[in-house]
Amino acid sequence: MTRSVYVTGIDRGDGRQVVELGVMELLTRQVDRVGVFRPLVHDGPDRLFELLRARYRLAQDPATVYGMDYQEASALQAEQGTDELVSTLVDRFHLVARDYDVVLVLGTDFAGTQLPDELALNARLANEFAASVLPVVGGRGQSAESVRAETRNAYRAYDGLGCDVLAMVVNRVAPEDRAEIAERLDSRLPVPCYVLPDEPALSAPTVAQITHALGGKVLLGDDSGLARDALDFVFGGAMLPNFLAALTPGCLVVTPGDRADLVIGSLAAHSAGTPPIAGILLTLDERPSDEILTLAARLAPGTPVVSVAGNSFPTAEALFALEGKLNAATPRKAETALGLFERHVDTADLLKRVSAPSSDRLTPMMFEHQLLEQARSDRRRVVLPEGTEERVLHAAEVLLRRGVCDLTLLGPVDQIRKKAADLGIDISATQILDPQTSPLRDSFAEKYAELRAHKGVTVELAYDVVADVNYFGTLMVEEGLADGMVSGAVHSTAATIRPAFEIIKTKPESRIVSSVFFMCLADKVLVYGDCAVNPDPDAEQLCDIAISSAATAQQFGVEPRIAMLSYSTGTSGSGADVDKVREATELVRARRGDLRIEGPIQYDAAVEPTVAATKLPESTVAGQASVLIFPDLNTGNNTYKAVQRSAGAIAVGPVLQGLRKPVNDLSRGALVQDIVNTVAITAIQSQTPEQKAARP
């Protein structure tokens, strides 16, 4: 069983940070404690480790991550030999390995290291660490035949030195050559070979990185604008009509600071989305007048305008020498990198080959990883009615970059595109519909009038109703044009779910619609129901909530052990409230004898083994409950908020259950990650056989 993975290469420029990030993502899905070790490090900040530490909330002491710097290693090898160097690094590796379930080892970078036969050193270290090797071969600027030959030679080199080669990764190949290279190598190597195309957004520097490298001054722009990738450079010198024709999506406009016409023209084009640009770089240390800057800020809020001292030629030389880097300050690049890795690597097979020890705990991070992976496994379409909301657009960008699902945004098309352009977000792969002008409005009005005819709704009235984004989105789900809907970032819960009650309605086996929260604690995930919908459910409704919550838990990888909560445990108390819970428990046992359930039971006896041992020593649920059903909304809502705030738990939800098709509500204070998680949950809910059968 492999306890560590050694990602290495054969030369510099292979872009292996994408692979290292991807492997870390895989390991943290399955293992609670993942350590990082870099045997040799250059002076200065380690950008990749800082990214890993921030993204995966690593508690590892940075001092333990590094073996030694290259200068120290070179001197040690020259004075005492390779054996002493390896021995020292092995000792330092084991200081990390003893504290973690698995270790990701970041091999040497072949960049000015002054170490002889660096490949052999990596191979020996991997063997001494008992690590499996994942070699990365860079293919940028090479022919398909050259890449194939180099990859086969790299495999033979590491295999010949006794390494356990997990797989080979070829990175940065020309997109048009990817399929051919993958097919040829698949038949020539005894291990899997994953081929990743070159992704311009990963090597493109951000506007912030350009500003820092050139010592620029930010005249306009916010953090979101500075985070945009500069995918191209367009140098301004022509007259405005000719210049505008040269603009490309995501380009950085480089022009002398006294060309106010090009500044305003570029920003006007950006505002219109034809095309959206990354920003403007002004040379010659020229600053436009305050009137021009004020107009620029109004035309494209947030779009960066940066001034540098040099003239255009040295500025161009510096720009073309820059390359974007993955680091903690570029989270959008990390999402792009992970999306690239997950699209072209068989992650399930690679994780199986790694054979990392599975954790017996489901941590919040593992749960979030699991959501994205499960949603991605059977890609669905989710409609987001709040298409002009900034948080929704940021979430859409993450979902698209990671390939989690397809999306439809609702709202005024031009307004959505302009908002996305101002935020530097590419939504070209997203469907955008305006309910006010969509051709679907007529047919949706007829459908809604038919469904609500018993309430006196006419087609004329329905025509106005279905222009509402939540009604329109719900009808898309009902008609099979989307698989689920997520709303509520700016709408009330009632506005989000009322259309679902009217149009989608409940499953035949469900008496009511209810909800659960996934409560992500430090070491486990619990399911709380119902904390958002039903004020005072009776015994029959509690039974229905318990069965639905168990099914939801199981669908998302939480083994259901149901606790029917009350202020009394077992037979120790009586009264109407306790009797309701007792009756509901018996109803569940009668309807679903296969479910493990206990009730009535107090919260402490449900989740704390020591209390359970005293109060219900024979119970198979007490002390280890995973699905907790509250007797009423007052108790449930207050409890989930108390746990969320006092224990620092992440509350994912509410997730609605009981509807024929999935619609979910967001808190109006939802963060981007909350929206991402809820959309993934909605996509997964639509992956049931019944939902697939209903798809046109």
| pLDDT tens-digit map of 361-401 | 666 777 887 888 889 889 999 999 999 999 999 999 999 98
* pLDDT attached to residue 694: 57
* pLDDT attached to residue 373: 86
Instruction: Report the C-alpha gap between 83 and 67 in whole angstroms.
Output: 15
CA distance to 152, 164, 195, 477, per residue, from 186 (Å)? 11, 18, 10, 41
Q: What angle do CA 37, 41, 43 make, to 5 degrees?
A: 140
Host H or E run for residue 220: strand 217-220
**Considering only CA atoms, which of 7, 100, 30 is closest in space to residue 351?**
30
Average pLDDT, the chain: 88
Instruction: Report the C-alpha gap between 662 and 474 in whole angstroms.
Output: 9
**Considering only CA atoms, which of 201, 228, 220, 213 is closest in space to residue 282?**
220
* pLDDT attached to residue 693: 57
**Considering only CA atoms, which of 673, 685, 301 is closest in space to residue 489?**
673
* pLDDT attached to residue 689: 67
**pTM, two decimal places:** 0.78
**Long-range contacts of residues 23-26, Cβ cutoff 8 Å, at least 24 apart:** 23/104, 23/134, 23/350, 24/52, 24/56, 24/104, 25/338, 25/341, 25/342, 25/369, 26/347, 26/350, 26/351, 26/354
* pLDDT attached to residue 242: 85
CA distance to 263, 614, 630, per residue, from 528 (Å)? 54, 24, 8
The answer to whether 528 and 516 are in contact (CB under 8 A) is yes
**DSSP-assigned beta bridge partners for residue 218:** 306
Strands 514-520 and 525-529: antiparallel
**Considering only CA atoms, which of 414, 408, 515 is closest in space to residue 472?**
408
**DSSP-assigned beta bridge partners for residue 381:** 406
Which residues, given as ranges, of the chain have pLDDT below 50?
1
Is the C-alpha dihedral spanning 455, 456, 458, 462 positive or negative? negative
DSSP letter string, 234-275:
EE--S-HHHHHHH--TTEEEEEETT-HHHHHHHHHHHHHTSS
Which amino acid is located at 429 in the chain? A
The residues, ordered by sequence, that sit 6+ positions from 433 with a Cβ below 8 Å of its Cβ are 408, 409, 410, 413, 440, 472
The answer to whether 635 and 476 are in contact (CB under 8 A) is no
The answer to whether 616 and 601 are in contact (CB under 8 A) is yes
Instruction: Report the C-alpha gap between 222 and 4 in whole angstroms.
Output: 41
* pLDDT attached to residue 605: 92
Structural domains of the chain, with CATH: 4-199 (3.40.50.300), 205-321 (3.40.1390.20), 361-505+660-696 (3.40.50.10950), 514-658 (3.40.50.10750)
* pLDDT attached to residue 385: 96
Instruction: Report the C-alpha gap between 184 and 170 in whole angstroms.
Output: 12
Which amino acid is located at 670 in the chain? A
Structure tokens at 454: 């018993």
Give the residue carrying structure tokens 């941590």: 363
DSSP letter string, 552-618:
HHHHTT---EEEEE-SS-TTS--SHHHHHHHHHHHHHHHH-TTSEEEEEE-HHHHH-HHHHHHH-TT
Question: Can you say how many angstroms the Cα of residue 228 is from the centroid of all Cα atoms in its chain?
Answer: 18
